[in-house]
Amino acid sequence: MIAATDYKHATRCTGCRIWSMGCVIIQIIVTTTSSLAQTAAPALKLASFLLEDGRILHGYGMDMFRWHTDAVPYIEASANKPALYGSYIRFTDVRSRDQDRLEQLTRLHKGWSDPDSGIQAPIVPMIGLQAWSYDFQERRDTLAAAFFDILGISPQAMQQFGLERAVYDMSLFATFLQHPSLWSCVQDTLVGRGLDPRDIDLPALMAEQTEEAEYRLISLRDSALVLAADRLIDAGFQFQDLAVLDGAFDDEIREIADSVRSVPSPYLVRFMYETIDGVSRPVLYSSETFKAALRHLVELFREQGATNAEFIYHPNAGNAFNLAAWYPGDSWTDWVSPSIFHSLTSPAQWDIMEDQHDFAALRNLPVIIAESGPTSQKYRPHNTSYPGVWEDWFQPYFAFMRQSTHARAFVYIGVDWGRLDGNFSHWGDTRVIVNPDLFARWEAELSDPLYLHNEEFWSTWTSLTTGIESPPTGQTLSVWPNPSSGNVSIRWGDTRHGATLSVYNLLGQRIHSTRMPHGTHTLTWDGTTHAGEIVRPGVYLIRLDDGLDVITRTIVRN
């Protein structure tokens, strides 16, 4: 990795390096696809593929309800169409039979279709899972108030020491350092509650400024938060990780897993995302219960046969010790994700990103930036009054990915937040297409071969997962109509000994196969599997093997 202060120079240097590497990457794909195709199994993980491939998957988001208003205009305007799109669903949506939310689980993969040209761009779905909806600010304030009560910080003490509101972030320890008498009272209160912090030398730990020293303070804070959570539970509050562990949502999780399994594509899953210091923290009881709940969810997915699901650990915090404390383990994790909302020109922000990247790299896990976008008014794309939007936010954003050894996917949230109700409506408009100059720079950046876009991704992925190579020249194959929701007419040229016609989904599973005798040149496929079941909407591959040539055509089922 590079120092935050050197990012501009590094971007220029790595730009040259990546461009030259781009040719190497492409060459590697061409020379290895045919050999890998002979042995590739349907169980190939997207995470493993991208780690070996070396490129960064282009993603966009967020939420299926913003698809037509925010995503489609971007896809139509962009020459580099995204291959990944993110959305959300809550277990209570499933329980209440919210049809729009339920349908998005499979509709996401259909992606974008141009009605004029018939071009179809299927999408790798990424779904964020929560148990139920909640007001983030209200929940955070409630937890913080209970936390202050556990610490023995009364409203009078808050006024005396200049604390405007209750918080549970680490800045509180700086306040304790400034006011030793307050820290002494907090220590006495915690001792009375069975939590002894008297071995904490606060001035020494704050001066040490190491991750280990910081984690000692984090551990104390989190232990006090558990005491606060116990008090809230007594008052009737619920925590999402405890509810999942109790099996309260097993049926809903199984139903989601069944929908994920039915999608002929890799499917990325985030559970209780932005966990440690982000939006999920106010509804989580502890690191141990979070880990156990995530493992429980993964096991339910596996029991349902959703082998195409890949699971993201999305902690949204730095400090290697704390990242390890919340980490569910290698057996339950395929990706590690940070979020990027602040400018990486800040050394502190760069360090947080570097901590999460290095945590993933030590475990040889790919990094996906599952949420990103400039939320500060200064750096929003529509702020044409500030000339440094690209240089101060977007350039270091891409510089981080260029310098990263394990960054393999990103999701940029291009949304007009101001049109939405909720916790983050003040974030403004992050759509890059609202600023023509910025969008031109964005497109120029993404034209680098380092980035993997929709068409090239699916071409490479399907060749690896199906064993299907590029079309040869000795045979012809046509599929019409395409896209289609009914019967499909398949035609091919003459064969010497007949041919086998097969249909594959994008997981590489052969779902239909017919042996055609010599002299036959047409076949009608009715959109069913070999078991007679109607296939789900999505992208499929028609493969003709006549013993000499193997040809593949893509078909979209509506």
Domains and CATH numbers, the chain: 4-131+249-463 (3.20.20.80), 136-234 (no CATH), 469-557 (2.60.40.10)
pLDDT at residue number 140? 94
pLDDT at residue number 422? 60
Alpha helices in 423-483 (DSSP H): 436-446, 454-466
Number of Cα atoms under 13 Å in the Cβ half of residue 126: 32
The overall average pLDDT reported for the chain is 86
Task: Determine contact, residues 455/117, Cβ cutoff 8 Å.
Answer: no
pLDDT at residue number 493? 75
Which of 549, 527, 521 is CA-nearest to residue 540?
527
* Each residue's pLDDT tens digit, 81-93: 999 999 999 999 9
- Look up residue 133 and give its amino acid: S
Q: Is the pLDDT of residue 103 over 70?
A: yes
Q: Is the pLDDT of residue 428 over 50?
A: yes
CA–CA dist 281, 273 (Å, integer): 9
* Each residue's pLDDT tens digit, 161-175: 999 999 999 999 999
End-to-end CA distance of the chain: 45
Q: Residue 33 — φ and ψ, nearest 5°?
A: -60, -45
Task: Using alpha carbons only, give the angle 198, 201, 206 rounded to the nearest 5 degrees.
Answer: 140
Helices (H) and strands (E) in the chain, counts: 20, 20
Q: What is the pTM of this model?
A: 0.78
Q: Is the pLDDT of residue 504 over 90?
A: no
Helix (H) or strand (E) holding 525: strand 522-525
pLDDT at residue number 65? 81
Residue written as token pair 């395409």:
482
Task: Determine contact, residues 254/315, Cβ cutoff 8 Å.
Answer: no
Q: What's the average model confidence in pLDDT over 265-293?
A: 95
Which of 390, 434, 552, 556 is CA-nearest to residue 483?
556
Q: Which residues pair with 505 in a beta bridge?
A: 540
CA–CA dist 305, 289 (Å, integer): 25
CA–CA dist 332, 310 (Å, integer): 9
Q: Is the pLDDT of residue 383 over 80?
A: yes
Q: Is the pLDDT of residue 461 over 60?
A: yes
Q: Which range among 54-68, 363-377, 425-439, 498-512 has the greatest average pLDDT? A: 363-377
Q: Which residues pair with 557 in a beta bridge?
A: 484, 538
Q: What's the average model confidence in pLDDT over 71-98?
A: 94
